[in-house]
Amino acid sequence: MKKRVAIVMGAFHHEQVERMLVEAKQTLQAAQLEVISEVWVPGSLEKPLALKRLLLRSDVDGAVVLGIIERGETKHGLVMGEVVMQAIIDLQLQTMKPVGVGILGPEILSDQIEPRLLPYAKAAAEALAVMLK
C-alpha cells in the first residue's frame, strides 16, 4: 500500500513556494508516495500547528514543509526560523512520523532564493521518501 503524505506551505512568498510545491509533488510521485493533503498557511509561524494537525491524522504517514524565511532588517527571521525548526523536529519525535523540511533560510538573501527553490523542495521530498522506506 502506498504511503500517504501531506504538504504544508507558507503563503508569504506564494509564487515561489508554488514552484517548490510542483517540484516536491513530482519527486513524491516518483517515490511512489501519495499526496493526500496540501495546506497553505500565512507564514512560517503557522506551519507547526498545521503540521501537527496533519501528523495526528491516521491517514497521514509523513509530511513535507515548504517555505522561505528571508533576511529582514531585524533578527526576527532568525528567531522565527529557530523556533519553527525546533517545533518541526519536536513534532517528528512526538508523532514518530517523518517530515522533509524545504524551508529556505532563515536569513536567506533575495538573490539566493531562486537557485535554491527547486533543489530544496526536491531534497525535502527525497528525505521524506527515504525516512518512509
Residue 91 C-alpha from the chain's centroid: 13
Cell 537557485 -> residue:
115
Residues constituting the chain: 133
Which residues have a Cβ under 8 Å from the Cβ of 13 and sit 6 or more positions away? 67, 68, 70, 113
Angle at CA of residue 121, ends 116 and 126, nearest 5°: 125
Instruction: Respond yes or no: is residue 13 known to be catalytic.
Output: no
What angle separates helix 76-95 from helix 47-55, to the nearest 10 degrees? 10
**Among residues 2, 14, 75, 76, which one is catalytic?**
76
Contact 66, 21 (CB under 8 A): yes
Q: Which residues are catalytic?
A: 76
